[in-house]
Structure 1
């Protein structure tokens, strides 16, 4: 997560996996390609096909899936909440009225080991019943990063609405 702008009228932040991790995903492509080419030259067509197309295809698909970045923009001037998702396959943007954004909350999921939980940040819009929840990312993350993001969004919303004395409005859901 990186905060681009944090003023009373504008909050912009970007969520995405750090770029150096994406390089580690693509690191095995060169050796697998070389081994696949060696198999192709050696006459092992099926093995070469599995390595060159199958395994390298899996690495590239993983890179594309993990390279998605989400940009959140809360703009008091225009009265809009903009969520922009950018990946190697294109860009999508959704706009919502800022006045119906209630809060940010965490959606927690437990893995097979109860000691490991992952969380993702959900924006809660009160204009529908039940409230509409929009995930900021497709995957959950362990650690305190999602909580910090939710707290930052909720603090900006409290400041924007002029309600500085209220308690944080995000909830933890199971």
Structure 2
């Protein structure tokens, strides 16, 4: 996570898995490709196809899924919440009204061991019943990163909406 802009008018942040993790995902591709080519040269067509197409395809699909970056923009000027997802397959953008954004929450999922859990940040919009929940990423992570993202979003919302609600509505009389 990195905060690009944090002003009273705009909060812009980006969520992405660190690049070195993506390189570790792709690390097995070279040996599998070499073994697959050796099997192809040796006449083992079926084994070569499984290695070259099957396993390398699975690693490539994992890389594409994990390489998705999400940019969140809360813009008071335009009154929009923009979620821009960029992956190797293209860019998608969804816009929501800022006044409908209630908060950011954590969606926790527990693994088989109860002491370990992963979290992902979910935006909660109150303009529908039941409330619309939009996850910022498809993957969850452990640690305090998602909690910090949710806290940053909620703090910006409190500053933005709190400042408007507490502003004096009347002018002093003369």
Q: TM-score, normalised by structure 1?
A: 0.91
| 4+ aligned runs moved over 2 Å, structure 1 | none
**Is 1:10 the equivalent of 2:25?**
no
Instruction: Render the CA deviation track for 1:30-85: whole Å, top value 9, x for unaligned.
Output: 11111111111111111111111111111101101111111100001111000011
> Whole-Å Cα distance in 1 between the matches of residues 131 and 50 of structure 2?
47
> Whole-Å Cα distance in 2 between the matches of residues 80 and 56 of structure 1?
40
**Is 1:126 the equivalent of 2:126?**
yes
How far residue 20 of structure 1 moved from its aligned partner, in angstroms, is: 1.2
> Which residue pairs with 2:71 in the alignment?
71
> Whole-Å Cα distance in 1 between the matches of residues 97 and 56 of structure 2?
43
Unmatched tracts of structure 2, length 5 or more: 164-174
Where 2:73 maps in the other structure, the secondary structure is strand
Where 1:162 maps in the other structure, the secondary structure is helix
> Which residue pairs with 2:85 in the alignment?
85
**Is 1:112 the equivalent of 2:126?**
no
How far residue 92 of structure 1 moved from its aligned partner, in angstroms, is: 1.0
What is the RMSD of the two structures over their aligned residues, measured on CA atoms? 1.2
Count of residue correspondences: 164
Where 1:72 maps in the other structure, the secondary structure is strand
> Which residue pairs with 1:143 in the alignment?
143
- The structure with the largest alpha-carbon Rg is 2
Unmatched tracts of structure 1, length 5 or more: 164-174
> Whole-Å Cα distance in 1 between the matches of residues 81 and 27 of structure 2?
37
How far residue 108 of structure 1 moved from its aligned partner, in angstroms, is: 1.0
> Which residue pairs with 1:167 in the alignment?
none
How far residue 98 of structure 1 moved from its aligned partner, in angstroms, is: 0.6
How far residue 162 of structure 1 moved from its aligned partner, in angstroms, is: 2.5
